Structure 1
Amino acid sequence: MARVLLMVVLAAVLLILLWPTRPAAASQNALQAWFERLHSRGLPTWLGFGTVEFLANVVMFLPLGFLTVLGWPRRPWWVQVTGWLLFSAAAELTQASLDAHRVGDWRDVIANGSGAALGVLAARWWLRRAVRGAGTRADRLSPTAPDRRSGRALAARRRHR
């Protein structure tokens, strides 16, 4: 299921990355003008359209990294992250070379790779917690369930039976 969902999300990301013009260009221009007005009123310049665009790229690649781990949990994390970094670099090179209205940017590669890395880390954390809590309370209390306590506690338990 995760692999199918990954293909759906990947199709949406490819559509955004390879669209001939900037996605929602009018909205992006309005947002940029809004930030310029806020900057003239004292908003720090580091918080602006570039920051929002960077974070949007992080968020766009986060589910790709997450779903990659769910689809291929045994692949090393660095292989998964490197794959998305290479994918992002290829998309930016395509934007820079083929599209007159799009610009390839190395900062987008960093943002996309960061999003994929965060997704990979989140999925690995989530899977680790799911494996730890896989047994139900009834399973843990069952006399046939393996005892997770130390050897001393297990020996004391056997003596009192």
Structure 2
Amino acid sequence: MRARWIVLVAGAYALALALIALWPTPVDRNLAVVELPPVAWLLRHVGLDQLTGYQLIEFSANIALFVPLGILILLWRTDWGWRQATLLSLAVTVTIEVLQNLLRPERFASLSDIVANTAGGLIGALVVLAARRRVPALRR
């Protein structure tokens, strides 16, 4: 039962990730993220200009996008650790960036995305490893 649940969630996640990664235009193209009231307020209070604020938000969003990948990898492969999950996250993000470069010229492949996405996979893996110490059912 657990394996089916993981496969279903992983399939939904993979579909969402593929749509976001390979959408013809950037997903935030028509959204002025830095002009959203909570974001604009935060940028003013932290003292960041709009460009720096946008880059920070984009980097953070890329991290958040890959946290589920690290979680799902270690829920599926209970014999793996953070290194394997991080390497697989790296492989997935490099594949996405190469596909964007080849198939979506209006999208931008970047080293920053690779770093953020890989960090997200690592964070997700570390969450599972921490949970395994507290929840015996996750060890199997």
Band of TM-score, shorter chain: 0.7 to 0.9
Q: Distance in 2 between matches of 1:107 and 1:126?
A: 29
Matched residue, 1:140: none
Q: Do 2:100 and 2:107's aligned partners in 1 also have CA atoms closer than 8 Å?
A: yes
Pick the structure with more helix per residue: 2
Gap change, CA 1:68 and 1:43, over 3 Å in 2: same
Matches within 5 A, 1:3-82: 3-27=7-31, 30-32=32-34, 43-45=47-49, 47-82=52-87
> What RMSD in Å do the two structures reach over aligned CA positions?
2.7
Between 39-48 and 77-86, the greater mean CA deviation after superposition:
39-48
Instruction: State the partner residue of 1:141.
Output: none
Q: Deviations over 1:19-62 (max 9, x none)?
A: 111113111xx1246679x9799823485000000000000000
Using the TM superposition, give the Cα deviation of residue 79 of structure 1 relative to its aligned residue in structure 2, in angstroms: 1.5
TM-score (norm. length: structure 1): 0.71
What is the alpha-carbon distance in structure 1 between the residues aligned to residue 43 and residue 61 of structure 2? 20
Question: How big is the shift at 1:2?
Answer: 1.7
Partner of residue 118, structure 1: 123
Q: Which amino acid aligns with 1:107?
A: S
Q: Which runs of 5+ in 2 are unaligned?
A: none
Give the percent of matched residue pairs that are identical in Structure 1 and Structure 2. Answer: 26
- Tell me how far apart the structure 1 counterparts of residues 65 and 16 of structure 2 sit (CA, whole Å): 10
User: Which of structures 1 and 2 has the bigger CA Rg?
Assistant: 1
5 Å matches for 1:79-158? 79-131=84-136
Conserved in 2, the CA contact under 8 Å of 1:3 and 1:68? no
> Distance in 2 between the 1:99 and 1:21 partners?
8
**Structure 1 gaps, min length 5:** 133-161
**What code does the residue aligned with 2:8 have?**
V
Q: Is the 8 A contact 2:90 2:118 kept in 1?
A: yes
2:57 aligned partner, one-letter code: V
If the length of structure 2 is used for normalisation, what is the TM-score? Answer: 0.81
